[in-house]
Structure 1
Amino acid sequence: MRRDPLPAGAAGPAGDRSVAGPPATDRWSRLAALLREGPYGRRALIALAAGAVSALALQPFNIWPLLGLTLPVLVLLLDGVRDGVRARQAPAWAALRPAFGLGWCFGMGYFVAGLWWIGAAFLVQADDFAWLMPFAVLGLPAYLALYTGLGASACMLIWPRGSARFLGFAAVMTLAEGLRGTLLTGFPWNNFGYALGSDLNFAQASAVFGIAGLCLITLACLSTPAALLDASRRWRARLGPPLAAALVLAALWIGGAWRLAHVEVGTVPGVKLRIMQPDLPQDQKFRYDARRSVMDLYVATSESAGGLEGITHLFWPESAFPFFIEREPEALARLRAMLPEGTTLITGGGRLEERPNGRRPAVYNSLLALDSQGRTLATADKVHLVPFGEYLPFQETLEALGLQQLTRVRGGFSAADTRKPMEIPGLPPVLPLICYEAIFPAEIVSASKSYDQPRQGLLLNVSNDAWFGETPGPFQHFEQARMRAIEQGLPLVRATNNGISAIVDPLGRVVAMLPLGARGVLDGALPQALASTIYANIGSSVSNFLLVLFLLLAFASQRGYTRRD
Structure 2
Amino acid sequence: MKKKSLMTLGQLFLAVPSGALATLSFAPYNYWYLAPVSIFAFLYLLQNQTIKRSGLIGFLWGLGLFGTGISWVHVSIDTFGGMPKVASMFLMGLLISYLALFPAAFGALFNRFNRGRPFHQLLLSGPVIWLLLDWFRGWFLTGFPWLWMGYSQVDSPFAAIAPILGVEGITLALMLCSGAFVAAWCDRNWKPLLIPVLIIGLSGLAGSIQWVTPAPEKSVEVALIQGNVPQELKWLPSQRWPTLMKYTDLTRENWDADLIVWPEAAIPALETQVPTFLQNLDSAARNNNSTVITGVLDQKEDGQYFNNILTLGMNTDGPYNYESAHRYSKHQLLPFGEFVPFGDLLRPIAPFFNLPMSSFSRGDFVQPNLEANGYSLAPALCYEIAFSEQVRQNVNIDTELLLTLSNDAWFGTSIGPFQHMEIAQMRSLELGKPLLRATNNGVTGVVDHTGKITDQIPQFETAVLRATVVPTEGLTPYTSLGSWPLYFYILWSLTLSFILFRRQAGHFRDHRPQESE
Q: Which TM-score band (shorter chain)?
A: 0.7 to 0.9
From 404, 409, 419, give the equivalent of 2:366.
419
The one-character-per-residue Cα deviations of 1:41-66 (angstroms, maximum 9, x if unpaired) are 44222111211112111111122222
Pair 1:276-2:225 in alignment: yes
From 113, 138, 143, give the equivalent of 2:98.
143
From 424, 428, 444, give the equivalent of 1:481.
424
Q: CA deviation at 1:435?
A: 0.6
Pair 1:441-2:384 in alignment: no
| Partner AA of 2:218 in structure 1 | P
After TM superposition, list the pairs within 5 Å mapping 1:2-401 onto structure 2.
38=6, 40-81=8-49, 95-125=50-80, 127-128=82-83, 132-156=87-111, 157-167=113-123, 168-199=125-156, 201-230=157-186, 233=187, 235=188, 237=189, 239-253=190-204, 255-256=206-207, 258-259=208-209, 264-267=213-216, 269=218, 271-303=220-252, 307-329=253-275, 331-332=277-278, 335=281, 339=285, 340-355=287-302, 361-371=303-313, 375=321, 377-396=325-344, 398-399=346-347
| Partner AA of 2:401 in structure 1 | L
CA distance in 1, matches of 2:349, 2:40: 47
| Partner AA of 1:133 in structure 2 | S
Equivalent in the alignment of 2:515: none
Assess if the C-alpha contact under 8 Å between 1:506 and 1:530 holds in 2: no
Matched residue SS, 2:158: helix
Q: Which moved more, 1:500-509 or 1:204-213?
A: 500-509
Q: CA deviation at 1:386?
A: 0.8
Q: How many residues matched?
A: 499
The one-character-per-residue Cα deviations of 1:335-361 (angstroms, maximum 9, x if unpaired) are 368644322111011011111xxxxx1
Matched residue SS, 1:390: coil
Q: CA deviation at 1:430?
A: 2.4
Q: CA deviation at 1:438?
A: 0.7
| Partner AA of 2:129 in structure 1 | V
* Change in CA separation of 1:78 and 1:457 when aligned onto 2, cut-off 3 Å: same
The one-character-per-residue Cα deviations of 1:83-140 (angstroms, maximum 9, x if unpaired) are xxxxxxxxxxxx4322211111111111111111111112333645755531453221
Q: Which moved more, 1:457-466 or 1:439-448?
A: 439-448
Matched residue SS, 2:310: strand
Matched residue SS, 1:204: helix
The one-character-per-residue Cα deviations of 1:184-235 (angstroms, maximum 9, x if unpaired) are 1111111011123343x532311111112111111111233223432xx4x4
CA distance in 1, matches of 2:84, 2:321: 38
Structure 1 length as normaliser, TM-score? Answer: 0.81
Assess if the C-alpha contact under 8 Å between 1:271 and 1:427 holds in 2: no
Assess if the C-alpha contact under 8 Å between 2:401 and 2:433 holds in 1: yes
Q: Which moved more, 1:206-215 or 1:330-339?
A: 330-339
CA distance in 1, matches of 2:431, 2:221: 22
CA distance in 2, matches of 1:38, 1:174: 33
Q: CA deviation at 1:254?
A: 5.1
Assess if the C-alpha contact under 8 Å between 2:441 and 2:462 holds in 1: yes
* Change in CA separation of 1:550 and 1:129 when aligned onto 2, cut-off 3 Å: farther
Matched residue SS, 2:267: coil
Assess if the C-alpha contact under 8 Å between 1:363 and 1:414 holds in 2: yes
Q: Which moved more, 1:114-123 or 1:263-272?
A: 263-272
Q: CA deviation at 1:383?
A: 0.7
Assess if the C-alpha contact under 8 Å between 2:377 and 2:400 holds in 1: yes
CA distance in 2, matches of 1:268, 1:285: 40
Assess if the C-alpha contact under 8 Å between 1:395 and 1:412 holds in 2: no
* Change in CA separation of 1:270 and 1:217 when aligned onto 2, cut-off 3 Å: closer
Matched residue SS, 2:353: coil
CA distance in 1, matches of 2:195, 2:101: 31
Assess if the C-alpha contact under 8 Å between 2:265 and 2:297 holds in 1: yes
Q: CA deviation at 1:250?
A: 4.0
Matched residue SS, 1:424: strand
From 468, 473, 477, give the equivalent of 1:534.
477
CA distance in 1, matches of 2:351, 2:82: 13
Matched residue SS, 2:383: helix
CA distance in 2, matches of 1:333, 1:445: 33
The gaps in structure 2 that reach 5 residues or longer are: 509-517
Matched residue SS, 1:57: coil
* Change in CA separation of 1:164 and 1:127 when aligned onto 2, cut-off 3 Å: closer
* Change in CA separation of 1:314 and 1:150 when aligned onto 2, cut-off 3 Å: same
* Change in CA separation of 1:165 and 1:399 when aligned onto 2, cut-off 3 Å: closer
| Partner AA of 1:549 in structure 2 | W
Matched residue SS, 1:155: helix
Assess if the C-alpha contact under 8 Å between 2:392 and 2:479 holds in 1: yes
CA distance in 2, matches of 1:496, 1:521: 11
Equivalent in the alignment of 1:8: none
After TM superposition, list the pairs within 5 Å mapping 1:459-538 onto structure 2.
459-538=402-481
| Partner AA of 1:462 in structure 2 | L
* Change in CA separation of 1:132 and 1:285 when aligned onto 2, cut-off 3 Å: farther
Assess if the C-alpha contact under 8 Å between 2:184 and 2:191 holds in 1: no
Assess if the C-alpha contact under 8 Å between 2:366 and 2:393 holds in 1: no
Q: CA deviation at 1:459?
A: 1.7
Q: CA RMSD in A?
A: 2.8
* Change in CA separation of 1:344 and 1:158 when aligned onto 2, cut-off 3 Å: same
The one-character-per-residue Cα deviations of 1:123-172 (angstroms, maximum 9, x if unpaired) are 33364575553145322121111111112211121345344432132221
| Partner AA of 2:242 in structure 1 | S
Assess if the C-alpha contact under 8 Å between 2:370 and 2:378 holds in 1: no
CA distance in 2, matches of 1:446, 1:126: 34
| Partner AA of 1:70 in structure 2 | S
* Change in CA separation of 1:413 and 1:405 when aligned onto 2, cut-off 3 Å: farther
Q: CA deviation at 1:246?
A: 3.4
CA distance in 2, matches of 1:172, 1:562: 22
* Change in CA separation of 1:505 and 1:268 when aligned onto 2, cut-off 3 Å: farther
